[in-house]
Amino acid sequence: MIIVNHEIELPTLRPGKSLALIILGMGVYFVYLYHVGFQEVMRSLGNVDLAVFSVGFVLAVLGVLFDSMAWQVIVRKFDYKVPTRDIFLIYMSCIFMNNIIPSGSFSGETARIYFLDKLAGSSRIDKTSATVAASRIIAFIPFILGTIIGLIFLSLSTDIPTWTLAACTGIAAFLLLINIGFFGVCYVDGWLERITFALIDQIERIFRVHVDRLQCQGIMGQFHESMMMLIDHKRTLFISAFWAIAGWFSMTLVAFLTFRSMGLEVPVRAVFAVYAVMIFLQMLPLFLPGGLGLVDIVMITLFNAIGVPMHAAVAATILIRLIQLWFLTALGGASMAYLIRKINRDAVRSRVNEGVAKSF
């Protein structure tokens, strides 16, 4: 029999595999750039106003900070006493895990649950999971609003090709269905249990093990209660949504400022739609870390479709991904290393204190 453990562990990092996939993605990307033309792209990059572009790094960090504050509002409602700095570092670590281990955001959300549990000294996986689930639902609010605004602008104010508009609309509709389903799992009585038990049936059949269903049911029941509790705290949800919108807008402005640094006028509403597609692709469990190569090529195609010259679209995509992929991933890795050291240090100190107490 497998007993469900209330402890959660960090997903396992495999540096060799991640590096190999990064090299593969970069290889595909460089082949694409070769066909586009390196020299023209380099000329576009050479015209960048570095003073304006550097503001994008600040906006990206602010975007993560605002997203972490949206989560912190919910975390504090569950009485977790974790400082804002640590919440921010946890969120940065989540970005690192999502970009390094492509798993449809599962690795990053697992990291959030793990670090919150450890730093708060809790073992209530149902509560920590509820904070993460609620923040994911709230984060979808600015995403869908921005996407709708962008799609309306693209359809009414540009000569965007029909296929591009249809692709963006289809992706937005698919994401909407996914989040409606996720909302149902969190709030509709019985959905989570039926899905979980169906998965358990498959696990037991394939691996020939037996899972403790009663313990699973207890955890899922507590999770459902925690999610229902949040509905009664409308002020908390409103404040969290405010910070989520601020985070979304800050991240979108990174692309807008990148174009401005290149001397290009691209309406921010058009950037909304392209950014929505980029986020969607990054959320998919693609085998390439951060959607490297695929996301870049799709972004270039969409920017070109809304009127940005091809070489400028390539240069802008390189700069945007430099900030939102490479820069944030590097900061996330450093944040994760710091949190792991802090948790290990606190664990050693706790054992020493226990030993001293027992000696008396």
Read off the pLDDT of residues 225-238 as tens digits, 9 standing for 90 and up.
Answer: 777 777 777 888 89
Domain around 87: 39-347
> Once rounded to an integer, what is the mean pLDDT over residues 142-170?
76
Tell me the pTM.
0.82
% of the chain surpassing 90 pLDDT:
18
Distance in angstroms (rounded) separating the CA atoms of residues 276 and 289: 18
Is residue 21 in a domain? no
- Who wins on pLDDT, 195 or 354? 195
Q: What is the mean pLDDT of residues 242-252?
A: 91
Strands (E), the chain: none
Residue 286 lies in a domain: yes
Q: What percent of the chain has pLDDT over 70?
A: 87
Kindly state whether residue 147 falls inside one of the protein's structural domains. yes
2 domain-assigned: no
On whether residue 16 sits in a domain, the answer given is no
Number of folded domains in the chain?
Answer: 1
Q: For residue 146, what pLDDT band results from cuts at 50, 70 and 90? A: confident
* AA letter at 159: D
Give dist(CA 33, CA 26) in Å, integer: 10
Residue 2's φ and ψ, nearest 5 degrees, are: -100, 120
- Residues 272-328: tens digit of each pLDDT: 777 777 776 666 655 666 677 778 888 888 888 878 888 888 888 889 988 988 999
pLDDT-derived band at 3 (thresholds 50, 70, 90) equals very low
The packing angle between helices 213-231 and 125-157, to 10°, is 60
Q: What is the mean pLDDT of the chain?
A: 80
For 190-216, the pLDDT digits (tens) are 787 788 778 777 777 777 777 777 777
Q: Say whether pLDDT at 22 is over 60.
A: yes
- Tell me, yes or no, whether 102 lies in a domain: yes
Domain annotation covers residue 6: no
Residue 357 confidence (pLDDT): 59
